[in-house]
Structure 1
Amino acid sequence: METALIRLVGVRYPIVQTGMGWVAGPRLVSAAANAGALGILASATMPLDRLREAVREVRSRTWAPFGVNLRADAGDAADRVRILLEEGVRVASFALAPSSGLIAELKAAGVVVIPSVGARRHAEKVAAWGADAVLVQGGAGGGHTGEVATSVLLPQVVDAVRIPVVAAGGFFDGRGLVAALAYGAAGVAMGTRFLLTSDSTVPDAVKARYLAATVRDVTVTRAVDGLPHRMLRSEPGDGAGAVGPDPRPHARGAAGGFRRLSGLTWRQLLQDGLALRHGKDLSWSQTLLAANTPMLLKSAMVDGRTDLGVMAAGQVAGVIGDLPSCAELVERITREAEEVLTGLEKLRGAR
């Protein structure tokens, strides 16, 4: 099963573990890489010195390729890029589209650039700027997401660009991998499915909440920061609002907490908030929350506070029922994909 993604980044299987804040740390990333997938380290929630340490820790755990996810609009993005170049990271992924200059800088250093997009026009833009591949997330994906279903968005993007396309949003098994390949994708990216593995450092109580969820317990809300955010409801099956207490009154305190944790200055934090606010109808309290939603995620993903934290979740959380290791998961997905492909070949032979 050799695809353009495999040839581009040098992994064994066309599977990407996405860069989830507070979740995609060195342990999960190295486990995914050792399993043959492309592990992506989430850097946005790390101070600069911790980012360098984390990259070195991943490298100490695996010889396989891995990448780092960046926020192109972060106030210290240039410093983070410098660390990637100094540490010899081979792949840079982006939650928001990087500038043409940043893409050129990374490519000149031999780094593979893979921005994430949620619309065809964004894919066309970054492809024209020189991106090596693009990760396309449909509406079923967790965290900040769009309205277009993966099954509609993916073929649009595949037809629009001539670089490898990685499909995200709604993938968790071998059937989905084959479906994505049939649409023309070069692989699939999964967040929630890798979050729910034994290699993930997310607290057991939080994982239990995910495993207990049905598809009706995963919803999209603007209550977190004014932007569409797919996550678990506050209580499984209650049909109530998506989050518990209104987080907006705590915006200033959360902003201060994230500033201290990340090492950002107030000016950098304000710049990040303004970048998020650009082109969106957000109040200033929502802007502050958008800038430090990572603190709300940390409450659940690190501290285990399911009552206070935000549990970003792809819609697939409602159909996942186990916690395999990354190695077991990747082996299962590739085996299922081969079985599906064999079945399809039999259909052709029967004609």
Structure 2
Amino acid sequence: MEKESALHTNICDLLHIKYPIIQGGMAWVAEHNLAAGVSEAGGLGIIAAGNAPADVVRNEIRKAKEKTDKPFGVNIMLLSPNASEVAQVVIEEKVPVVTTGAGNPEKYLKDWKAAGIIVIPVVASVALAKRMERSGADALVAEGCEAGGHIGELTTMALIPQIVDAVSIPVIAAGGVGDGRGLAAILMLGAKGAQVGTRFVVSHESIVHDNYKKRIISSKDIDSIVTGRSTGHPVRALRNNMTRNYLKLEQEGKSFEELELLTLGSLRKAVMEGDITEGSVMAGQIAGLVSKEQSCKEIMEEMISEAVSAIKKGWL
């Protein structure tokens, strides 16, 4: 167990981490280097399985173990065609924590729990939160629409207290948390920790292209936009030529299939190739708060220090 920090919560106890901060499961971004970096810094690093084949995820898990002896997790995107195979890999590799998104993990819960895995589904509504608690989830990530990537409708400010009131398991808040003030705020709303994504994208340990990092660092408060509302699959990213073309096609009433063609491979294009014009530069609304590249350790310690200072000032 890590030495207790000034903001020790029951999430720290559950996950055996020093600080109540977990890293978001961001496809193409959250690989073993970032996950290990966050875990070494006192939080819970996450490897994003995305659509990757099971053997790729297994390799990422093993590489993370070479870089840290601290706990880390794997995020399983349940719509992936490889989800069932990855669900077995996390058992075989003795991954301590699994977070899930884009679906219902109930069919895997029994096996994961039997293997001693802590299961934390990502939810965007009270109804799903209650269902996940009944199914045996250990905690929840409640994600507001301020987050980057795939989002729900409710804001973090509205969503967190409603979910906290509806369930008895710990709630981790996601969406719009980018500094210590945000961390203090979600603790006041009843959450026991924060999931942070965009801030870690620009960390030293993050392998994303420098163009992507610089785009986030230079962004303003109004630079993110949501595409895909007409398809029922809204995604938040930073404005560029791709988002403009997508919104234009949406307004013209193009089909889901036609819209999907426009975004095929666009996230990888941005993250790995640095194409921030035609690629999908996923980032949350807090991108305008991010002003510099730092190590995971610096990010973590700065957020905790700011949160403690905010609370001591009486922002209660």
- Normalised by the length of structure 2, the TM-score is 0.91
2:283 alignment counterpart: 313
Q: Deviations over 1:181-214 (max 9, x none)?
A: 1111010001101102121111111211111111
Q: Deviations over 1:259-306 (max 9, x none)?
A: xxxxxxxxxxxxxxxxxxxxxx994515855xx957210000011111
Q: Aligned letter for 1:72?
A: L
CA RMSD of aligned residues (A): 2.4
Is 1:114–2:120 an aligned residue pair?
A: yes
Q: Deviations over 1:155-192 (max 9, x none)?
A: 00000000010000000111111111111101000110
1:285 alignment counterpart: 257
Structure 1 pair 294–66 and aligned structure 2 pair: CA distance change class (3 A): farther
2:146 alignment counterpart: 140
Q: CA deviation at 1:24?
A: 0.5
User: Alignment partner for residue 201 of structure 1, among 179, 198, 207?
Assistant: 207
Q: CA deviation at 1:225?
A: 6.4
Q: Note if contact 2:28-2:50 (Cα within 8 Å) is conserved in structure 1.
A: no
Alignment of 1:109-258 (within 5 A): 109-222=115-228, 227-234=233-240, 242-244=243-245
Q: Note if contact 2:98-2:117 (Cα within 8 Å) is conserved in structure 1.
A: yes
Which secondary structure state, in structure 1, belongs to the residue aligned with residue 176 of structure 2? coil
Identity %: 36
Alignment of 1:5-154 (within 5 A): 5-154=11-160
Q: CA deviation at 1:242?
A: 2.9
Q: Note if contact 1:166-1:187 (Cα within 8 Å) is conserved in structure 2.
A: yes
User: Alignment partner for residue 8 of structure 2, among 2, 26, 39?
Assistant: 2
Which secondary structure state, in structure 1, belongs to the residue aligned with residue 87 of structure 2? helix
Q: Note if contact 1:55-1:87 (Cα within 8 Å) is conserved in structure 2.
A: yes
Which secondary structure state, in structure 2, belongs to the residue aligned with residue 106 of structure 1? helix
Report the count of equivalent residues: 307
CA distance in 1, matches of 2:112, 2:23: 21
Q: Note if contact 1:225-1:286 (Cα within 8 Å) is conserved in structure 2.
A: no
CA distance in 1, matches of 2:45, 2:254: 33
1:263 alignment counterpart: none
Q: Note if contact 1:177-1:188 (Cα within 8 Å) is conserved in structure 2.
A: yes
Which secondary structure state, in structure 1, belongs to the residue aligned with residue 131 of structure 2? helix
Q: Note if contact 1:218-1:318 (Cα within 8 Å) is conserved in structure 2.
A: no
Structure 1 pair 51–149 and aligned structure 2 pair: CA distance change class (3 A): same
Structure 1 pair 218–246 and aligned structure 2 pair: CA distance change class (3 A): closer
Q: Note if contact 2:22-2:196 (Cα within 8 Å) is conserved in structure 1.
A: yes
Structure 1 pair 282–138 and aligned structure 2 pair: CA distance change class (3 A): farther
Unaligned runs of 5+ in 1: 236-240, 249-280
Is 1:295–2:265 an aligned residue pair?
A: yes
Q: Deviations over 1:44-95 (max 9, x none)?
A: 1422221111000000000110000002233322211111111110001001
CA distance in 1, matches of 2:247, 2:180: 39
Moved more, 167-176 or 91-100: 91-100
Q: Note if contact 2:106-2:135 (Cα within 8 Å) is conserved in structure 1.
A: yes
User: Alignment partner for residue 343 of structure 1, among 304, 313, 316?
Assistant: 313
Q: Note if contact 1:172-1:316 (Cα within 8 Å) is conserved in structure 2.
A: yes
Unaligned runs of 5+ in 2: 1-6
CA distance in 2, matches of 1:173, 1:73: 31
- Normalised by the length of structure 1, the TM-score is 0.82
Structure 1 pair 247–130 and aligned structure 2 pair: CA distance change class (3 A): farther
Q: Note if contact 1:97-1:116 (Cα within 8 Å) is conserved in structure 2.
A: no
Structure 1 pair 91–213 and aligned structure 2 pair: CA distance change class (3 A): same
Q: Note if contact 2:174-2:195 (Cα within 8 Å) is conserved in structure 1.
A: yes
CA distance in 2, matches of 1:133, 1:324: 29
